[in-house]
Amino acid sequence: RVAYVNGRYVPHVHAMVHVEDRGYQFADGVYEVCEIWHGRLVDMKGHLDRLERSLRELSIAMPMTRAALTAVMRETVRRNRVTEGMVYLQITRGVAPREHIFPPASTRPAVVITAKAFDRIKADKQAEEGVAVITTPDNRWERVDIKTVGLLPNAMAKQKAKEAGAKEAWFVDADGYVTEGSSTTAWIVTQDGALVTRPNGTGILPGVTRQTVEEVARRDGLKLEERKFTPEEAKGAREAFMTAATTLVMPIVAIDGQSVANGRPGSIATALRQRFHEVAQ
Ligand code: PDD
């Protein structure tokens, strides 16, 4: 395996960043995860748009053009011979003596890109079974709309899910509404067949996969309701599912140990998963 680190392709085992990298000390950086499908990067426009927005919110300069970034991501995929998998891209504010105040604007952002294969057959099998989620209080900061590498609450929530035998943890805000999963967008399907997901801009990361799924839904004439929902509504829903570049549309069959509908993946989630790559760019 090779990784791209600040302009060079290096063996993955030797891919290092400096101890004074601000990503390491302050979680002062952002990232993107893109799916590789049949050797192609999926939904790059959405990921690059969100990357630029995240960087802008943190006043970190784009380290290279979108075209150059895309080329390096493709080259990393090629050098790793990945046809099904994902690319990880991380940009931090760079290396500077530890000091909370931002270093001079001339500091070069640090760019790391890796590619990893994943077992699509296994993932599809999991989607045929469906997965379980738990709920947990949302204890993150207020700017989770920025895709920063500050993921400790997310990691802790995911670990809690694992220990409960579940695949994902859904965060619940102080008013009792589901925000999102620790690394996925949360959805339900109402008894009358409407897709429900929380509006962007209020305590969630705007999902790129979500955008494409919404496009699939529009094309297929499904009803879409952007509104909040509670764990209780989700438990009584016709279907529940999650989306992310890493999971695509993944049916949820249990929430906090309680079956959703008959405990089998729903037909709408299953259809959305199958249709996804026909619509994704
Ligand atoms: N996570 N919400 C959170 C908190 C996320 O971390 C992610 C993605 C999503 C879904 O976004 P998208 O559809 O653009 O992948 C929602 C990535 C995959 C990760 O951290 O591994």
Query: Is 250's C-beta closer than 6 angstroms to any atom of ligand 1?
Result: no
Residue 104 CA to ligand 1 center (angstroms) comes to 31
Residue 49 CA to ligand 1 center (angstroms) comes to 14
Q: Which of 78, 102, 118 is the last residue of a domain?
A: 118
Token representation of residue 278: 């026909």
ipTM of the complex: 0.99
Neighbours of 140 (CB within 10 A): 20
Query: Is 242's C-beta closer than 6 angstroms to any atom of ligand 1?
Result: no
Q: Which of 95, 118, 141 is the last residue of a domain?
A: 118
Query: Is 207's C-beta closer than 6 angstroms to any atom of ligand 1?
Result: yes
Q: Are residues 102 and 220 in the same domain?
A: no
Residue 245 CA to ligand 1 center (angstroms) comes to 7
| 41, 87 Cβ separation under 8 angstroms | yes
Q: Are residues 44 and 182 in the same domain?
A: no
Active-site residue, 116 included: no
Q: Which of 116, 122, 147, 167 is catalytic?
A: 147
Q: Are residues 198 and 113 in the same domain?
A: no
Q: Are residues 198 and 104 in the same domain?
A: no
Q: In the chain, how many domains are there?
A: 2
DSSP line for 213-253:
HHHHHHHTT--EEE----HHHHHTSSEEEEE-TTTSSEEEE
Query: Which domain, by its residues, includes 14?
Result: 2-118
Q: What is the pLDDT along the chain (281 residues), one digit of tens a residue?
A: 999 999 999 999 999 999 999 999 999 999 999 999 999 999 999 999 999 999 999 999 999 999 999 999 999 999 999 999 999 999 999 999 999 999 999 999 999 999 999 999 999 999 999 999 999 999 999 999 999 999 999 999 999 999 999 999 999 999 999 999 999 999 999 999 999 999 998 899 999 999 999 999 999 999 999 999 999 999 999 999 999 999 999 999 999 999 999 999 999 999 999 999 999 98
